[in-house]
Structure 1
Amino acid sequence: MTRKEVLQALSGLFMGMFVAILAATIVSNALPVIIPEIGGSQSIYTWVVTAELLAMTVTVPLWGKLADLFSQKLLLQLSFGLFVVGSLLAGFSQDTTMLIVARALQGMGAGGLTALVQIVMAAMIPPRELGRYAGVFGAIFAVATVGGPLIGGVIVDTDWLGWRFCFLLGVPFTLLAMVLVQRTLKLPAVPRRTASIDWWGALLITAGVSLLLIWITFAGDRYDWLSTETALMVGGTVVLLGLAVVVESKVSEPVIPLDIFRSRTVTLSVVASALVGVAMFGGTVFLAQYLQVSLGYSPTESGLLTLPLVGGLLVSSTVAGALITKTGRWKGWLVAGAVLMTVGFALFSTIDAQTSPWVLGLFMVVLGAGVGALMQNLVLAAQNDVPAHELGAATSVVSFFRSLGGTVGVSVLGALLATRVAEDLSVLGPVEGGGEAAAPDMSMLPEPVRELIRNAYADATAELFRIAVPLAALALVTVLFIKEKALKTTSGAQRLAEEQGAAGLPLH
């Protein structure tokens, strides 16, 4: 493919990727309006978020494996289709069951796009040239993640739109992306292995990860962290994932080939990506709550105030990608990104209820620049280090652990925040709204109580960032041990043809 053809194909891929990631975050400011209207409870509130996140996280490695066995273009269109169906069902939902099922379908489609867009990019573009495009991908991923709450807030604050538009907004753009991909994506024919799907491995991995995420989501809320439920769920997770490892070590076409972890680069990239997931998802979730509760901004205003975070991500991701393509050197960007991420967390650990929005903006730029330089280049490092026939699995595994890290981080840090706030507010006795997961209605409380709650949320948020500092430092140590290797100059499709062509396999 010429550069013009690559850009045309990427336009459809990136458009679909943006709306898929946007769907995961756009509902955060809309759910307080949606749930009462369709008769949902607090548990339904949680499941509308969890269903999409679970489906996206657990299906990423499955899509990645399918990409090593079947037509990547066909799988992309299937992902788009699932996302459109889920979006339409969510937009026209009449009850909570329909909405949760719709969100799960959206998550399955988004999981496919999260894995497949990066895999198709690697198939079209050599690693040496991939940097600039991977930088743009990382920027789009970050902007959609951080910008979703802002867009959702604006939609629900606009009377003539309504909450259903949060789900329907992405449908026309996804359909346009399907047309663009069908017309512009022309992957060369390469030898394919005989398809053999590891259904048992897929089932065990999905069940094990789902049980883990369900436990983390409800621990500290529905039951104590140290409880019978915890013991049963953790034990079940260990058993299911242990069986998955046994199955993956024996089947001919495992969902997650265990031998890719023999690559030090892949293993370290997986660890670092999980820690980046905590930074990106956890940071944005709790910053929004801090801005609204402690500093008193509206959902739309708090979204606007996070734009410096988006700016830092956007600039560092695109600049790093362009310079990696120009120079061929990439490890320095991983190290610089991890350093900036650690410094960003350390700066945020100093916030309180009086911190200036200008100071917060500076902190956000530093944190965003760190995550932007680090996130997508970890995928590039892994893709450059594996054989072409494992490109899909390696890409999806790194993405999977980033998503898993984000889910775990949000749940655990959220539980710690709730505990700290409850302790700080215990001097008040029972406070209406104080025991709920949602922020209390500040307008209904007297000024002395509002001041105490503002300080409680600010102190708890700062403590979360203090906890995140050593995690970011661990990511820095991890990337220091990644060995820099020259970026390959042939695309994944070309390498796959070279690796398997001698075997006389038919082109697929």
Structure 2
Amino acid sequence: MTITEAVGELSHRRIRAVVFGLLVGTFLGALDTMIMVTAMRTIADELHGLTMQASVTTAYLIASMIAMPLYGKLSDIYGRKRLYLAAIAVFLAGSLLCALAQSMGQLAVFRAVQGLGGGGLMALALAAIADMVPAEQRTRWQALFGFSFAGASISGPALGGLLAGLDSLLGIDGWRWLFLINLPIGLVTMVVVGRFFTVRTPRTPQPVDFRGAIALAAGLVPLLLLAEQGRELPVTAALLLAAAGVLGLTIFVRVQVRRQDSALLPPKLFRDKAFTLINVVNFLGGVGVFTALAFVPLYLQLVQGLGPTGAGLLMLPQSLATITGSRIVGPLLAKGIHYKHILASGLGLTAVAYLALAFAGPTTPMALITALVLANGIGGGMFFQVVLVVLQDAVDPRDLGVATSLSGFSRQLGGVAGTAVFLSLVFSLAGDRIGGGVDLDDTSFLADLDPRAAAPIVEGFASAMNTVFLSIGLVVVLAAALALSIRPSRKDIQ
């Protein structure tokens, strides 16, 4: 049975039931990401490892990024439901382990377990929507996931800040509830998805590229360790990490070329120049989108002096703006505006926000900071939605699972690289500009320090972040310029 025939047999009520089940899972994954953005500083201070923040963040991102195309490929072979339930189960196991972590190193490992499950939640849900509805209706249905993400985006930062601000709840450290809260939601998700996700999708028997996944991980992990900790490593150790990373990526490319259609990232998809360029834009845009989740809350707390709850509340406008940005994409496409212009406009807004933040400081009015956060959110929302629709439109229906997972893969690859490089850079610059004698692994002392004594430290962090914001802004400017150069090879989306 073809996808078109399968869609014909589905009633509107059945589609709504399936979508509801998928929305619950999407909320789970999105909540876990958003709830961490305002709590990370508190967690890192308590586990005495603020400079290891990049490890915890990138561990989740790299695990979910590598898992995404595997879930896409496996779901093309075995169907969506089985893989979706497996993803939720792994995610919940990782959540429980994170709640038990006693160090930043342990937390990084357990976040990677979470990521192995989280990588399937969004990618498989969006692929299922593509299975069920025709392309001309897909944007409307996929936009519903914006509401699920909206709920997580709105509640996540505030809830994360609230829980992180509690000394304890029911005898358990407040921040540990950030992970424990996933358990009841996850159990509900498994029941709902198991009951309603009954769509039978066409299956394409083919081998799974586990070797490619292992080689990709073997290549990326050493390079990320080098980006994050290279400044502290001996030259020999740094060179060994670089060599291991290059070797792993070289093996990955060779495996992909050898396996062709059964590869983790099928080379045939990248023969389309527009498809390849869109993924490059997605990578560079991911640098901007994901680093914002790490840097903006950190900036609000370290430079503007807000607590985790205050930072969470100030992130609400960005969440609402992201929803608005994603919602306006459909109407703009329906009016015949070319997708590359919408994509470039969204990235342009994000770039403007970053470049303006490069000149902000401790005395910058909060109203201006809020306006920049809004611009960043609208641009990010436009970017997310356009890239997804374009990538799905550019491939054969049999490759929808892989193409959908690629929309998250290339974006998160940018997020992993950007977060590792720029968080490492900000702490390196801050250490140089503040001077010796300050423990950057635990900044909780700033709350009790005399403002005059704290001023040089805050200024050092502000200066370091200004440099990083400028660098990220220039990366996003490049992404916007490349978006304008895209020449579609198959068809435009109307």
Partner of 2:7: none
| Cα pair distance change 1:280/1:304, threshold 3 Å | same
User: What SS is found at the alignment partner of 1:386?
Assistant: coil
| Cα pair distance change 1:478/1:133, threshold 3 Å | farther
Report if aligned partners of 1:248, 1:256 keep a CA contact under 8 Å in 2: yes
User: Which whole-Å CA distance do the structure 2 matches of 1:120 and 1:108 have between them?
Assistant: 19
Partner of 2:233: 223
1:128-277 to structure 2, matched below 5 A, reads 128-138=136-146, 140-141=148-149, 144=152, 148-158=156-166, 159-160=168-169, 162-190=174-202, 192-220=203-231, 222-223=232-233, 227-251=235-259, 253-277=262-286
Partner of 2:429: 420
Report if aligned partners of 1:65, 1:256 keep a CA contact under 8 Å in 2: no
Partner of 1:497: none
Tell me whether 1:303 sits opposite 2:315 in the alignment.
Answer: no
2:194 counterpart letter in structure 1: Q
Post-superposition offset of 1:211: 2.5
Report if aligned partners of 1:266, 1:394 keep a CA contact under 8 Å in 2: no
User: Which whole-Å CA distance do the structure 2 matches of 1:176 and 1:93 have between them?
Assistant: 25
TM-score by length of 1: 0.85
Tell me whether 1:432 sits opposite 2:438 in the alignment.
Answer: yes
Task: Identify, as 1 or 2, the structure richer in helix.
Answer: 2
Report if aligned partners of 2:161, 2:311 keep a CA contact under 8 Å in 1: no
TM-score by length of 2: 0.87
RMSD: 2.9
Post-superposition offset of 1:387: 1.0
User: Which whole-Å CA distance do the structure 1 matches of 2:353 and 2:48 have between them?
Assistant: 38
Seq. identity, %: 29
Tell me whether 1:333 sits opposite 2:345 in the alignment.
Answer: no
Post-superposition offset of 1:329: 5.5
Q: Which shows bigger deviation, 379-388 or 341-350? A: 341-350
Q: Which shows bigger deviation, 445-454 or 360-369? A: 445-454
1:193 counterpart letter in structure 2: T
- Which of 366, 379, 398 is 2:375 aligned to? 366
Task: Give the unaligned 5+ runs of structure 1.
Answer: 490-508
1:349 counterpart letter in structure 2: A
User: Which whole-Å CA distance do the structure 2 matches of 1:424 and 1:139 have between them?
Assistant: 42
Partner of 1:493: none
| Cα pair distance change 1:366/1:43, threshold 3 Å | closer
Post-superposition offset of 1:300: 0.7
Tell me whether 1:291 sits opposite 2:295 in the alignment.
Answer: no
Partner of 1:477: 481
Post-superposition offset of 1:104: 2.9
User: Which whole-Å CA distance do the structure 1 matches of 2:108 and 2:343 have between them?
Assistant: 38
User: Which whole-Å CA distance do the structure 1 matches of 2:44 and 2:393 have between them?
Assistant: 45
Report if aligned partners of 1:131, 1:324 keep a CA contact under 8 Å in 2: no
1:447-486 to structure 2, matched below 5 A, reads 447-484=451-488, 486=491
User: Which whole-Å CA distance do the structure 2 matches of 1:266 and 1:45 have between them?
Assistant: 33
User: Which whole-Å CA distance do the structure 1 matches of 2:60 and 2:34 have between them?
Assistant: 10
User: Which whole-Å CA distance do the structure 2 matches of 1:182 and 1:148 have between them?
Assistant: 26
Partner of 2:328: 319
1:165 counterpart letter in structure 2: W
Report if aligned partners of 2:322, 2:381 keep a CA contact under 8 Å in 1: yes
User: What SS is found at the alignment partner of 2:120?
Assistant: helix
2:345 counterpart letter in structure 1: A
Partner of 1:355: 364
Partner of 2:87: 79
| Cα pair distance change 1:138/1:272, threshold 3 Å | farther
User: What SS is found at the alignment partner of 1:479?
Assistant: helix
1:480-495 to structure 2, matched below 5 A, reads 480-484=484-488, 486=491
Report if aligned partners of 1:139, 1:372 keep a CA contact under 8 Å in 2: no
1:59-98 to structure 2, matched below 5 A, reads 59-92=67-100
Count the aligned residue pairs.
Answer: 479
| Cα pair distance change 1:95/1:280, threshold 3 Å | closer
Post-superposition offset of 1:92: 5.0
Partner of 2:392: 383
User: Which whole-Å CA distance do the structure 2 matches of 1:44 and 1:361 have between them?
Assistant: 28
Report if aligned partners of 2:44, 2:441 keep a CA contact under 8 Å in 1: no
User: What SS is found at the alignment partner of 2:394?
Assistant: coil
User: What SS is found at the alignment partner of 2:169?
Assistant: coil
| Cα pair distance change 1:42/1:282, threshold 3 Å | closer
1:354 counterpart letter in structure 2: T
User: Which whole-Å CA distance do the structure 2 matches of 1:97 and 1:316 have between them?
Assistant: 36
User: Which whole-Å CA distance do the structure 1 matches of 2:464 and 2:80 have between them?
Assistant: 45
User: What SS is found at the alignment partner of 1:164?
Assistant: helix
Report if aligned partners of 2:150, 2:320 keep a CA contact under 8 Å in 1: no
